[in-house]
Amino acid sequence: MFEHKKIRSVFIDEAMERILEIEKGLLQLEQYPDDEELINTIFRAAHTIKGSSASIGLNELSGFTHGIEEILDLVRLRKLIPGKELISQLLESSDLLKEMVTSLASDMPFDFTKCENSIIRMGDLKNKILLKQFKIIFIPDHHLFRKGLDPADIIAGLRDIGEVTNIKAFTDEVPALSEISPDELYLRWDISIRTDRDLTDIRKVFEFVEEGSDIKIFPVIAPDQGMPLLGQMLVEEGTVKAEDIAEALKVQKRLGEILVEHDKVAETDIKRMVDKQSLKKIELFKNSVSSTIRVDLKKLDHLINIVGEMVIIHSMFQQIIHGNGNLKETPENLDALFSQLQRIGKDIQESAMSLRMLPVGEVFQRFSRLVRELSGNKDKRVELVMAGEETELDKGVLEKITDPLVHLIRNAIDHGMETSGERTAIGKPPYGKIHLIAYQMGDSVYIEIEDDGKGLDREKIIEKAIAKGVIKDSSGLSDDQIYNLIFLPGFSTADEVSDVSGRGVGMDVVRKNIESLNGKVNMHTKPGIGTTISIKLPLTLAIIDGLTVLLGNDAFVIPITSVIESLRPRREDVKTLNEKCEVINVRGEFIPLIRLYEQLDITPLKKDPSEAIVVLVSHENKKRCLLVDDLVGQQQVVIKKLGTAMPKVFDVAGGTILGNGRIALVLDVPGIIENVTLSV
Amino acid sequence: MADATATVVPGQSLEKQQYITFYLNNEEYAVDALNVQGIIELSNITKVPHLPEFIKGVINLRGTIIPVIDLKLKFGMGCEEYKKHTCIIITDFSGGVMGIIADTVSDVLHMPDESVASTPSLGTKIRTDFIKGMGQVDNRLVIILDIEKILTQDETSLVSDITGGESAGN
């Protein structure tokens, strides 16, 4: 049973990866329909899923994948053209596949009847589009009968290689009855045939009659694949022109609109359902982050190499201690060994951390799908341009950044981007562009989302901020400060509030999520030109640089990212306001003092700031001085949770184990600053 | 375990559970042995601010940080200095791992379910929701605790807060 589960979880991981591969491939295929390598990659991915699902007894899943694979095979053989309809259908199928695998992962039964529609449509695709249309104009030799040949045989021959959809005999050359010669052929035919064979195969049918006959065979370009069957048939029959069908289709409305017009359902209901549809897609998208990690073999090899080195050092130590080798217990030898050990320890730490690093491309590639879905819904044409997909981020950070990024991209499309009509009207290209860029600088990773939409409306933000009581008036605020107001709680400038976007909880949640990762988010916008949101993230969550300080009998760690400087103020620099709030004059700037021992309920060794040390910290341009007894120094610490059974404390971000085995609490500077701001 | 099942007296229930018993002052308490990971010496406890008094702080258990609680403070019992025999019982429950401070660990008890009486109603003075039952063994009264309910509803809801919002430690 356990084995079985294990195999299954391996399958789930693999399948998820393959599905993403298929999805990514399909999206690219839409742009480069002729890329053979691409088609092969997608085909192989589907083929792998089919094979491995069958091998662990998931027959329905395997069967369904087989359907997908068949279509891909036809695309590969160039019998199907990967048009929009086909890609959409395959994407839908891969969604279903994803649902199947997710429900497998959560041990939920999957309702396979859901796939029926999809299977039928895939079948349609296979049957209809793969068959090429040929039109044959067959003007046979008048003396055909004399050669012992019969045109009926030809037509029978055509029926053997495909479906003869239309046959029309022209009788205009048939003479009056009295003049008919029984061994002459007066007829000619127009034949339409639908077949999977090539032109040469058709020509072969006419091989014997070719001489003296006039045979024209030309492929009929498949009409627009978006055209419904009826229209296609009418065009084939020659009754209606393709342009007329296209025109008629424009008039045709979506099911939802028709229902509304006939008062069958309220418009809001439809809207809700449509929103629900897109929400579902987003949900599905979120669920697909797995809990396992795929590691580059090189990284593992490197780690194993260093561990090997450590084993050698270990045996050298043994030699020294037991005195049974060439190594003598001299201070020089010990010192050399120790410094080697130190270097190896650092190497191991670094390469162990690098195992947790994943390229951001893993998350990015899913966004192209999201953009496609969202822009399709909104009558906006948006192209996603990605760069720096190879930038690596800690897996933990990467998982938590996905939601905020989804939200930001959704916002950019929903609120930032104009419809293509609006864009053309103001002289912008009809296609909007969203750039998603990642790069590393120092020990931070930056992710930027840049759109060329309409930008933020400065006046609207001010108006709203005043209405919501966020600010009193806009004087003294720089443009950037005003734009960044949208990150404050309860702020949403969207006029129209729907389920998908703009629930008014958007941007502040984004900011909170990013800050919980010790990251920062910033926004620049130019009206009419576009908006750039840049997110700064630490490389990793688990190890931080910290400033260790002493307070009472305990050590505390302050993350170095929030520390500006530490100093011992002169007595005359400590002032009080209203006898309540203390401030410290730091080179002319008055900064509020927080007596950490009061905050943390500790008996301190020193209460006088001019004898103790103050650490100047900042969070979102708010500066505070933290009063501590003494400084120990700066070091890298591994942040750990205080046990899952432990209640959360707002001013503690976690704990770390010091060299002496004791625990030091890591302070949560934003928590402390915000808490004190509230209580003052 | 093998011993326990081999010496079943006929007529006695096969449903026998093992308990670890420990003393808080003069009272004997018990927790299900399946919830106990180990027993360690009392080590340095690092206090965490703003928490109820009975949550003494956190300790370093072989590289992981776990919270430690003092049941005497939780139950409002008289509390003296920690002594030589004071130890920490490491328990494992659905909310995570937690240490419980005990004066001494006394015994491993096999108790058939029949000899465990349900908690009598003791009036409003004493909270009984974290007491699973009372066991009687050779005239000893053992109070069996329900590990899952020692942290009250409010406290466990706080617990789920941190599991959601914390950094990726460990």
Q: Does A553 touch chain B (CB under 8 A)?
A: no
Q: Are residues A124 and A148 in the same domain?
A: no
Which residues, in sequence order, are CB contacts of A285 under 8 Å at separation 6+? Answer: A366, A369, A370, A406
Quote the domain boundaries for residue A501.
Answer: 359-538
CA-based radius of gyration for chain A: 36
Sheet strand arrangement including A163-170: A163-170, A188-195, A132-139, A214-220
**Predicted confidence band of residue A84 (pLDDT cuts 50, 70, 90):** confident
Residues A647, B165: C-beta atoms closer than 8 Å? no
Q: Are residues A393 and A534 in the same domain?
A: yes
Which residues, in sequence order, are CB contacts of A528 under 8 Å at separation 6+? Answer: A426, A454, A455
A286 within a domain of the structure (yes/no): no
Q: At what angle do helices A59-76 and A36-55 cross, to 10 degrees?
A: 160
B6 within a domain of the structure (yes/no): no
Q: Are residues A186 and A314 in the same domain?
A: no
What average pLDDT does the segment A548-577 reach?
88
Q: Which residues of A touch B43 (CB under 8 A)?
A: 661
Q: Does A648 touch chain B (CB under 8 A)?
A: yes
pLDDT tens digits, residue range A3-14?
A: 566 677 778 888
Give the pLDDT score at B90. Answer: 93
B79 within a domain of the structure (yes/no): yes
CATH number, residue A502? 3.30.565.10
Answer yes or no: is pLDDT of A81 > 90: no
Q: Are residues A408 and A320 in the same domain?
A: no
In a mutagenesis test of the A interface, which of B44, B94, B167, B170 is the best target, namely the one with the most A β-carbons within 10 Å? B167
B1 within a domain of the structure (yes/no): no
Give the pLDDT score at A249. Answer: 59
pLDDT tens digits, residue range A330-360?
A: 888 888 888 888 888 888 888 888 888 888 8
ipTM exceeding 0.85, yes/no = no
A455 within a domain of the structure (yes/no): yes
Q: Which residues of A touch B67 (CB under 8 A)?
A: 642-643, 645-646
Residues A644, B64: C-beta atoms closer than 8 Å? no
B7 within a domain of the structure (yes/no): no
User: A543-551 and A554-559: which strand pairing?
Assistant: antiparallel
B115 within a domain of the structure (yes/no): yes
Give the pLDDT score at A502. Answer: 42
Residues A517, B167: C-beta atoms closer than 8 Å? yes
Which residues, in sequence order, are CB contacts of A670 under 8 Å at separation 6+? Answer: A515, A562, A619, A620
Q: At what angle do helices A59-76 and A84-105 cross, to 10 degrees?
A: 160
Which residues, in sequence order, are CB contacts of A533 under 8 Å at separation 6+? Answer: A408, A448, A449, A450, A521, A522, A523
Q: What does the alpha-carbon distance between residue A354 and residue A297 come to, in Å, rounded to a whole number?
A: 12
Give the pLDDT score at A129. Answer: 56
Question: Domains in chain B: how many in total?
Answer: 1
Residues in chain A: 680
Q: Are residues A62 and A158 in the same domain?
A: no
A254 within a domain of the structure (yes/no): no
Q: Are residues A561 and A462 in the same domain?
A: no
Last residue of a domain, one of A335, A355, A375: A355
Tokens of A233: 């048939």
A161 within a domain of the structure (yes/no): yes
Q: Are residues A658 and A551 in the same domain?
A: yes
Give the pLDDT score at B3. Answer: 42
Compute the nearest-CA separation of A308 from chain B (Å).
Answer: 24
A279 within a domain of the structure (yes/no): no
DSSP labels, A509-558? HHHHHHHHTT-EEEEEEETTTEEEEEEEEES-SSEEEEEEEEETTEEEEE
Tokens of B100: 């419980």
Q: Which residues of B touch A542 (CB under 8 A)?
A: 167-169
Q: Are residues A516 and A652 in the same domain?
A: no
Last residue of a domain, one of A200, A220, A240: A220
**First CA to last CA distance, chain B:** 33
DSSP labels, A379-428? T--EEEEEE-TT-EEEHHHHHHHHHHHHHHHHHIIIIISPPHHHHHHTTS
Q: Which residue has the tokens 């909170």?
A: A512
Q: Is A262 a catalytic residue?
A: no
Q: Is A59 a catalytic residue?
A: no
Q: Are residues A454 and A331 in the same domain?
A: no
Q: Are residues A656 and A507 in the same domain?
A: no
Report how far apart, in Å, the C-alpha atoms of A131 and of each of A69, A226, A417, A662 are: 18, 16, 40, 75
pLDDT tens digits, residue range A438-480?
A: 988 766 789 999 988 888 878 878 887 787 777 777 777 777 7
Q: In angstroms, how far is CA A442 from the centroid of its own chain? A: 25
Of A17, A23, A47, A513, which residue is the catalytic one?
A47
Last residue of a domain, one of A195, A220, A245: A220
Q: Are residues A370 and A501 in the same domain?
A: yes
Chain A, nearest residue to B93 by Cα: A645
Quote the domain boundaries for residue B135.
Answer: 16-163
B3 within a domain of the structure (yes/no): no
B4 within a domain of the structure (yes/no): no
Question: Domains in chain A: how many in total?
Answer: 5
Of A21, A69, A392, A448, which residue is the catalytic one?
A69
Cβ(A44)–Cβ(A73) below 8 Å: no
Q: Are residues A563 and A634 in the same domain?
A: yes
Question: Where is average pLDDT lowest: A80-84, A230-234, B47-51, B58-62?
Answer: A230-234
Q: What does the alpha-carbon distance between residue A428 and residue A422 come to, in Å, rounded to a whole number?
A: 9
Give the pLDDT score at A50. Answer: 85
Cβ(A10)–Cβ(A292) below 8 Å: no
CATH number, residue B132? 2.40.50.180
Q: Does A251 touch chain B (CB under 8 A)?
A: no
Percent with pLDDT over 70 in chain B: 74
Which of A284, A276, A286, A277 shows the shortest CA–CA distance to A406?
A: A286
CATH number, residue A596? 2.40.50.180
User: Which amino acid makes up residue A445?
Assistant: V
Q: Is A47 a catalytic residue?
A: yes
A380 within a domain of the structure (yes/no): yes
Instruction: With H, G, I as helix, E, B as strand and everything else as coil, classify residue A441.
Output: strand
